[in-house]
Amino acid sequence: MATFLIRRLVNYLILILVATTGAYFLAATSLHPRANVAGRNPPPPVAVVDRQLTALNINDKTPVLDRYAIWVKGVAHGDFGRTWDNNSVNAEMGRRMGVSLRLLFVGTVLGSGFGVLVGAYSAIKQYRPSDHAITLVSFLVLSMPVFVLAVMLQIAAVKINKTVGHQVFQYSGETSAGLTGGFWTHLGDRLQHLVLPTLTIVLGQIAIFSRYQRNSMLDVLDSDFVRTALAKGLRRRAALLKHALRTALIPAATFFAYSFGLLLVGATFTEKIFGWHGMGEWLIDSILTNDINAVVAISCFTAVLVLIAGLLSDVAYAVLDPRVRST
C-alpha cells in the first residue's frame, strides 16, 4: 500500500510539473504584459519598460527558456515570482487561497452530502411524482451555467430585499466595508454574504451528485444481494438503506474526483460574480492583465487541487470498498 501511494504521488508530482510547465510556456508566449503600458499617454520609454519587465522576469525580449530557468529556480525555493504590478505572487496567493478553499469546502461537503441523499431518495421513489420532480429540477439546474444561476440568485435576492425592505442577502464581496460592531454583527454580516455564493455552488453540486447517485442506486436496487437481504427477512426500507445505499456509495466516491474540476470552474465564476477575492477571481483578472507569473501560479494551484481530489477519491474508495482494501 505504501509503495503504491508513493508511486502514485510521484506520478502526480510529474503530472503537476508537466502541467505547470506547459502552462508557463503557453502563458509566457501568449500573454503580453508589455501591452499593459502600451496605451499610456505619454508612452513610457522602452528602456524603462524593458527594465521593469526584466526585473519581474516577464520581458518578452528575454528568450522564454531563460525566463523559465529563472522562474524554475524561484519555484524551487518556493517563490512563484512577482505579479505584473510588482507584488509577491506568494503573498497574494496566500491571501486568496483561504477565500477559495472556504467556498470549495462548503460546496463539496454540502453538495455531495445532500446530493447523495436526494439521489438515493429519488431512486427509491423511481417513476413516482417526487422522483419526476427531483429529476426535472436537477436537469433544470444542470442546464443553467453557473453565471446564469448566480445572476438569477442575485436578481431574486434583490427582489426579496426590496419586498422585505431590508438587506437580507448581500451579493457583493465577503464582508461589508467599514462595518462596525461586535463579533455577532460581523458573523451575521459574513453569513449574509455567504448564502448566495454558497447556494450557487451547492445547488449545482446537488444536481450533479443526485443524478449520479440515483443511477448508481438504481443499478443496485435489483441486485441479488438486496434480494438476499429481503429473503433474510429485512423490511424493504432496511434492505435499501443498509445494503443498497451503502454499496451504491462506492461509485460516488470515484465520481467525486471527476466532479471536482467542474466545481473549480463553478467556484471561479461564482467568485468573480459575487466579488469574492479568491483564486478564481484572480484567474480571470490575471489573464485580463497579462499577469504571466500569477497565471502560472494559479494553474499550479488548480492542478494540485485536482490531484488532491483524485487522491481523496481513491482513499474514499478504499475506505468504502473492502474489495479494494484487501491485497
Partner 1 sequence: MSVPGDGLVEIVGTGGALPGEPPPPDETRAVSHGRLVLARFTRHRLAMVGLAVLVLLFVVAFLGPYVAPWSYTKKDFTAFLQPPSSQHWFGTTQIGADVFALTLRGMQKSLIIGLLVAVISTGLAALVGTFAGYYGGWRDKVLMWGVDLLLVLPSFLIIAILSPAFRSGSWLIFVFLLSAFLWMVTGRIVRGMTLSLREREYVLAARYIGVPSHRIILRHILPNISSLLIIDATINVSAAIISETSLSFFGFGIQPPDVSLGTLIADGTSSAFTFAWLFLFPAGVLVLIVLAVNLVGDGLRDALDPNSVHK
Partner 2 sequence: MLGSTGRVPAGTPVLEVSDLQVTFPGRETPDVRAVRGLSYTLAAGEVLGIVGESGSGKSVSSLAVMGLLPGTAVTTGSVRLGGQELLGLKDRELAQVRGKRISMVFQEPLSALTPVYTVGDQVAEAVRVHNRVTRQAASARAVELLDLVGIPYAATRAKAFPHEFSGGMRQRVMIAMAIANDPDVIICDEPTTALDVTIQAQILEVLQAAQRETGAGILMITHDLGVVAGLADRVLVMYAGRPVEVGSVDDVYYRPRMPYTMGLLGSIPRVDERGRSALVPIEGTPPSLAALPTGCPFHPRCPMAIDLCFTSEPALERVGGPSHAAACHLSGVIDDQDLGPVDVYPVPEIPAAAALRLPRPDRPHVLDVQGLVRHYPLLHGAVIKRQVGTVQAVDGVSFDIREGETLGLVGESGCGKTTTLLEILELKAPQQGRVVVLGRDTSGLTGQQRTALRRDVQVVFQDPMASLDPRLPVGDILAEPLRTHGTPKDQVWPRVHELLRLVGLQPEHASRYPQHFSGGQRQRVGIARALALEPRLIVLDEPVSALDVSIRAGVVNLLEELKTRLSLSYLFVAHDLSVVRHIADRVAVMYLGRIVEIGDVDQVYGAPAHPYTQALLSAVPVPDPRKERARRRILLQGDLPSPADPPSGCRFHTRCPRFAALDENARRPCLDLDPGLVPIAEDQQAACHYAEPLRVV
Q: Given the rule CB under 8 A, which residues bind partner 1?
A: 15-16, 18-19, 22-23, 26-27, 30-31, 136, 139-140, 142-148, 151-152, 154-155, 158, 208, 211-212, 214-216, 218-219, 222, 251, 254-255, 258-259, 261-266, 268-269, 272-273, 283-284, 287-288, 295, 298-299, 302-303, 306-307
Nearest to 197 by CA among 141, 149, 128: 149
Q: Kindly state whether residue 233 participates in binding partner 2, applying the rule CB under 8 A.
A: yes
Q: Kindly state whether residue 51 participates in binding partner 2, applying the rule CB under 8 A.
A: no
**Cβ nearer to partner 1, comparing 198 with 299:** 299
Number of neighbouring beta carbons within 10 Å of residue 251: 19
Q: Which cell numbers in the block locate residue 277? A: 477575492
| CA separation for the pair 295, 124 (Å, rounded) | 46
Q: Which runs of consecutive H residues, i.e. helices, occur in the chain?
A: 2-30, 34-38, 46-55, 64-76, 89-124, 129-142, 146-164, 183-221, 224-232, 236-239, 246-274, 279-288, 292-320, 322-325
Q: Kindly state whether residue 73 participates in binding partner 2, applying the rule CB under 8 A.
A: no
By CB under 8 A, name the one of 139, 158, 236, 288 that touches partner 2.
Answer: 236
By the 8 A CB rule, do 271 and 172 touch? no
Question: CB-side exposure of 130: number of CA atoms within 13 Å?
Answer: 10
Binding site partner of 322, from partner 2, partner 1, none, Cβ cut-off 5-8 A by kind: partner 2
Give the largest Cα separation in the chain, rounded: 86
**Cβ nearer to partner 1, comparing 173 with 261:** 261
Number of neighbouring beta carbons within 10 Å of residue 128: 11
Q: Kindly state whether residue 228 participates in binding partner 2, applying the rule CB under 8 A.
A: yes
In order, the DSSP letters of 75-86 are: HHTT---B-TTS
Q: Kindly state whether residue 24 participates in binding partner 2, applying the rule CB under 8 A.
A: no
By CB under 8 A, name the one of 16, 106, 284, 318 that touches partner 2.
Answer: 318
Q: Kindly state whether residue 128 participates in binding partner 2, applying the rule CB under 8 A.
A: no
Q: How many helices (DSSP H) and strands (DSSP E) are in the chain?
A: 14, 0
| CA separation for the pair 218, 45 (Å, rounded) | 68
* Segment lying near partner 2 (by CB under 8 A), choices 139-147, 206-214, 218-226, 260-268: 218-226
Number of neighbouring beta carbons within 10 Å of residue 50: 15
**Cβ nearer to partner 2, comparing 72 with 230:** 230
Binding site partner of 154, from partner 1, partner 2, none, Cβ cut-off 5-8 A by kind: partner 1
Q: How many residues bind partner 2 (CB under 8 A)?
A: 31
Binding site partner of 279, from partner 2, partner 1, none, Cβ cut-off 5-8 A by kind: none
* Segment lying near partner 2 (by CB under 8 A), choices 1-9, 30-38, 79-87, 205-213: 1-9
Q: Report the run of H or E that residue 212 belongs to, with start and end.
A: helix 183-221
Binding site partner of 134, from partner 1, partner 2, none, Cβ cut-off 5-8 A by kind: none
Q: Kindly state whether residue 321 participates in binding partner 2, applying the rule CB under 8 A.
A: yes
In angstroms, give the least distance from the CB of 304 to partner 2.
20
**Cβ nearer to partner 1, comparing 68 with 147:** 147
In angstroms, give the least distance from the CB of 218 to partner 1.
5
Q: Kindly state whether residue 314 participates in binding partner 2, applying the rule CB under 8 A.
A: yes
Give the C-alpha distances (Å, rounded to integers) separating 22 from 27, 60, 62, 76, 311: 8, 17, 18, 17, 22
CA 107, chain centre distance (Å): 8
Residue 197 CB partners (closer than 8 Å, separation 6+): 103, 150, 270, 271, 274, 276
Phi, psi of 174 (to 5 degrees): -95, -30
Interacting residue ranges for partner 2, rule: CB under 8 A: 1, 3-4, 222-225, 227-236, 243, 246-247, 250, 314, 317-318, 320-324, 326-327
